[in-house]
Amino acid sequence: MSEGHFEFRHNLKAAFASTMARVFVYGTLKKGQPNYKHMINTAKGLAKFQGRGHTVEKYPLVIAGKYNIPYMLNIPGTGHHIAGEIYSVDEQMLQFLDEFEGCPDMYQRTLMRIQVVEWEGKGGVGEARAAADGVLECFVYSTATYPPEWVGLPYYDSYDSSGKHGLSYVLRESRE
């Protein structure tokens, strides 16, 4: 292998590593939830589980609409510290998630501070230091475009599609 070819491959690897983004999921994309299958479908891109955490700020997490969809309302300071999972995703998976989440109409992808509770991630020194400090910045799909009556719904600190709330999530393929 020529020196130039090796350098190109090395630079490509470095460029790929730098394009990974952190995403915090709190609803149907978590392990054990109805849409987790998308997080492990490599045809949609790469997503690597890094750990668990919760939002540093409080937010309302509601289950709303006729399909019982979990929504984090973008109202900082109201509600609970929302529990979820932290993933490192590539650009392809980030684009898939934007489409899946109806971004920017239904949800908006914004950076939020996440308190790390459990960390499995293996990454660079900066990532290890951030995890050691306990707070990471992650993209989160929350919404500022919701009907005003949603503010009056019950607030949850964690989402489980089969939770005691009794509001079963309706998969897209089952919707009319």
Report how far residue 72's alpha carbon sits from residue 82's, in angstroms, rounded to the nearest whole number.
Answer: 8
**Active-site entry in 85, 101, 118, 176:** 101
CB atoms within 10 A of CB 150: 16
176 is a catalytic site residue: no
CB 87 within 8 A of CB 25: yes
Find out whether the peptide bond into 104 is cis, omega within 30 degrees of 0.
Answer: yes
Phi, psi of 114 (to 5 degrees): -120, 125
CB atoms within 10 A of CB 26: 27
DSSP state of 99: H
- Catalytic residue positions? 101
